Amino acid sequence: MMWNVEEQSQRAQFMNHMYKCSGRTNGLYTGLWEEFCLNEAGPYCRALHFEREKAISDFITHAKTLSGVAADCSDQCTEEFIPSFHD
């Protein structure tokens, strides 16, 4: 695996961001990632999960409604064949 300078720079920048957001002033970076995951990423990901579930459920409900309308319409939307008329 090659050393990626850009990736390592981004990691260091993000560590500094997490340190500032944590409100720490003691110079200790230990546990920042876990704190970030529990306090920021975790709640965000949980909310996103339920938003996606709701979107899927709404889509399925809407699709069933459309298919139900199409099924109901199939009986009503057909014209009766009259042999003496020509199209």
Quick one: what percent of the chain has pLDDT higher than 70? 78
Q: Is residue 7 in some structural domain? A: no
Q: Is residue 2 in some structural domain? A: no
Q: What is the pLDDT of residues 4-15, one digit of tens each?
A: 999 999 999 999
Give me the number of domains the chain comprises.
1
Q: Is residue 39 in some structural domain? A: yes
Q: Is residue 46 in some structural domain? A: yes
Q: Is residue 61 in some structural domain? A: yes
Q: Which of 80, 81, 61, 79 is nearest to 69 (CA)?
A: 61
Residue-range definition of the domain harbouring residue 41: 34-67
What integer is the mean pLDDT of 45-62? 94
Q: Is residue 55 in some structural domain? A: yes
Is the confidence at residue 74, as pLDDT, over 70? no
CB-based contact 18:35 (threshold 8 Å):
yes
Mean pLDDT of the chain, nearest integer: 86
Q: Is residue 27 in some structural domain? A: no
d(CA 30, CA 24): 11
d(CA 77, CA 70): 9
Q: Is residue 51 in some structural domain? A: yes
Phi and psi (nearest 5°) for 31?
Answer: 85, 0
